Structure 1
Amino acid sequence: MNQSKTRITAFDFARALAIFGMIIVNYKIAMQAEHSGPKWLQSIAGLFEGRASALFVLLAGIGVALMTSKARSSMSRELIRQSRMGLYKRAAFLFIAGVLLLFMEWSADILHYYAVFMLVAAVLITVSDRLIIVLFLTILSLSQVFLLLFDYSKGWNSNFTVYTDFWTLEGFARNLLFNGFHPLFPWLCFFLIGLWIGRKGWITNKNRSKLLLNALLGTVIFESMSYILVKWTSPSLGSEAALYLFGTKPMPPTMLYVLSGISSALAIIAVSLYIVDKWEKFALTQAIIYTGQLSFTHYYGHVVIGLGLLQLIGYLENGSLAFAVAYGSLYFVMAIAFSYMWRKQISRGPIELLMRKLC
């Protein structure tokens, strides 16, 4: 099997897994069911928090690196201009799509942040790999400092479900940069490391064992560091402050969360390489790959259709964690079936087709 083809389809497979995780997390948030249900189910559902979205953004960085590789390697002014225009158009499309979801009162939208990632990518097409790493380290460090300097809770209601001044200039900027669901400081780090990894081109079947081992090792190391630092500083700082500074949950997004999230995302990509290489011809594997290729359609659909149905029947804010997980899993199964049938007829998903036509 062609190594390049396997790698690309493995990214699609991993993207589908990211969509599944995002569906579970978002349904749990929408139903306000994070703390309901048995502890074991809370622990399982909690594994997806901030990890699925991190994988999604990291894969976006890899995808942009691959998409702009020809322009970067040739340094052709015309190809660079075309690549930048394409990214600008995608940014505009994603921003509008995200704002539409925000108007529907979906405050956990990731697309308007994604739009800014595309703008950053357009600027960085011709910069060196070293500069990307410098930017990554700078943003990662500043993000941790910002948690000390600024009030992370500003703009949020008491249970972090409503951002009270989101539609003001100050509130929107604060949410976008610092304390929204996926703020640029530090979520841009996931995109930048994906951009850097995509440029290096070392995510292949040949390197997958090393990638998986290092990624798992990194996850264990950063999670262990978090556990030790929280336990060590809790007596002096208090458990809440210790978790605020050294936890690995996505809110607030600490330095250790970002490093652990990158490691776990790379582990999922390595596993996806194994699965696709061995079982790509299986119908289920192919259907999951197709689901990843329709990721924007399914992201939009899980909010508009999935949550829209619950709101219609009056169950949106009354569901248990068990129901949120079951409903999210059922929705994902239906998304897989839809993707398989759609892709047998049409090469791109509905929203992907629209974006392709406009961008």
Structure 2
Amino acid sequence: MTTSARLEGLDFARFIAFVGMVLVNFTVAMGAEGQGSFLATTFVGALEGRAAATFVVLAGIGLGLTANKAAKNQEFNHDFNDHLVWLTTKRALFLLVLGLLNSLIFDADILHYYALYFFFGVFFIRMSARGLISSIIALLVGFVIMLFTLDYDVGWDWKTYTYKNFWTLEGFICNLFFNGWHPVVPWLAFFLFGIFLSRLSLNQIQAQRQLFIFGLIALLTVEGLSLMTLALLTGAEQDLLDIATTEPLPPMPYYMIAGMASACMVLAFSLWISSKAAGLSKTVGFRLCNNIGRQTLTLYVAHILLGMGTLEALGLLDGQNTSGTTDDAVLASGIFILVTALYVWAYTKFFTRGPIENLMRIIAG
């Protein structure tokens, strides 16, 4: 598979993750979790926390591929390493500012966390595969230790899912590194896992098949272990029950492994579609999906400002005396994605990158 095909596979994976993210965020924003038909609630519930995790893994893969390409061209010397660190730092600062602005209207923003994943992740770019795996394990174990030694509930109002002290220095640091929506510990592990995956032979069908099978087995295993552990801990305190959860809050090892497994499956499927399903990959629909995947930064902001803004104007957000269901959220997500597709189809006739992607290039290089 050519580099172009591999990049298209990553774009398609980003598209899948974007659709999942919209479904989950609209469901949460509408207060529709667990309400509605069995099919809709089960489907959206299975996506919760997994779409965002896939995005972070893909970000790590992207950075890793950049470094790999330089290494193959014998460009990865001290000067290139300094350049990559500086470029990544500038982009991280851009994402941090954008994310903090977004946090003013959307508490569950992920962009300001993304900034830290890139900032710390770039220093792992030359680490060995064994070192990356060891670091991932350390982050997972470290979070468990933090959970049992620190107060995970500090700052949270769990009834409204708001973080009271976010805009204080102590609260911001605690949220960013420990008990926020996507804390650096342990979420940086997803980014490092992406760097690890970038070193595999992703262009080979056999590797793609193995990656998908590994992801499926790991996902089924961890979900099964979670159910067994929860059954054994019936009646135990919540802190012990949290150990066995595959829910994103708190992000315990079972959840983290499930997130990595899901990302492996999405990545393998997307790479296979791009490399082998030639007839499908040349269709207008497939190219449109890839173009959506190339604008996920712009579309992430759009789904909050425009998507949730429209839901609020229609009185459909949680707390507006609505009785929305997951089915309603799925319908709203479908309409938003359709509008998104129409916008991207028209926009890409004139421009290659999305508006915010272009802005980041201009400001941060």
Match of 1:114 in 2: 114
Q: After the TM superposition, which of the residue ranges 310-319 and 298-307 deviates more from structure 2?
A: 310-319
Work out whether residues 3 and 204 of structure 1, in 8 Å CA contact, stay in contact via their aligned partners in 2. no
2:329 to 324, 329, 332: 324
Q: 2-side partners of 1:7 and 1:243: how far apart?
A: 40
Q: 2:203, 2:27 → 1: CA distance?
A: 33
**Correspondence 1:172-191 to 2 at 5 A:** 172-191=172-191
| Aligned 1:49-198 pairs, distance under 5 A | 49-71=48-70, 74-104=75-105, 106-159=106-159, 161-198=161-198
Partner secondary structure for residue 91 of structure 1:
helix
Q: Distance in 2 between matches of 1:282 and 1:70?
A: 29
Q: CA offset at residue 343 of structure 1?
A: 1.9
The letter for the 1-side match of 2:357 is E
The residue type paired with residue 211 of structure 2 is: L
Which sections of structure 2, spanning at least 5 residues, go unmatched?
none
- The 1-side partners of 2:42 and 2:200 are apart by 35
Tell whether 2:264 aligns with 1:266.
Answer: yes
Q: Please provide the CA RMSD for this pair.
A: 1.7
CA contact (8 A) 1:97 1:111 kept: yes
Query: Which has the higher mean CA deviation after the structures are superposed, 315-324 or 216-225?
Result: 315-324
Give the share of equivalent positions with the same residue, in percent: 33
Distance 2:134 2:70 in 1: 22
Q: Could you tell me which residue of structure 2 aligns to residue 33 of structure 1?
A: 32
Following superposition, the deviation at residue 38 of structure 1 comes to 3.0
Q: Render the CA deviation track for 1:281-339: whole Å, top value 9, x for unaligned.
A: 01111111111011101101000111112223333223432222211121112222322
Counterpart residue number, 1:257: 255
Which structure: greater helix fraction?
1
Q: CA deviation at 1:7?
A: 1.7
Q: Is the 8 A contact 1:75 1:126 kept in 2?
A: no
Structure-2 residue corresponding to 1:288: 289
The corresponding residue for 1:10 is 9
SS at match of 1:344: coil
2:347 is aligned with 1:342: yes
The TM-score with structure 1 as length reference comes to 0.94
Q: CA–CA distance in 1 between the matches of 2:272 and 2:126?
A: 32
CA distance in 2, matches of 1:300, 1:12: 18
Structure 1 segments (4+ residues) deviating >6 Å: none
CA distance in 1, matches of 2:357, 2:173: 28
- SS of corresponding position for 1:55: helix
Instruction: State the SS of the aligned residue for 2:47.
Output: coil
Unaligned runs of 5+ in 1: none
1:304 equivalenced with 2:302 (yes/no): no
Q: In the alignment, which residue of structure 2 is the partner of 1:247? A: 245
Once residues 31 and 188 of structure 2 are traced to their aligned partners in structure 1, the CA distance between those partners, rounded to angstroms, is 27
Kindly indicate whether the alpha-carbon contact (under 8 Å) linking 2:59 and 2:194 is maintained by their aligned counterparts in 1.
yes
- In the alignment, is residue 333 of structure 1 matched against residue 338 of structure 2? yes
- Give CA-to-partner distance per residue, 1:52-93, whole Å, 9 cap, x none: 001000000000111233455544222112111110111011
User: Does the Cα contact within 8 Å between 1:65 and 1:195 map onto a contact in 2?
Assistant: yes
Which stretch of the first structure deviates more once superposed, 198-207 or 20-29? 198-207
Structure 2 Cα separation of the partners of residues 295 and 87 of structure 1: 18
Contact 2:60 2:195 in 1 (8 A): yes
Deviates more, 1:305-314 or 1:285-294: 305-314
Q: 1:19 — aligned with what?
A: 18
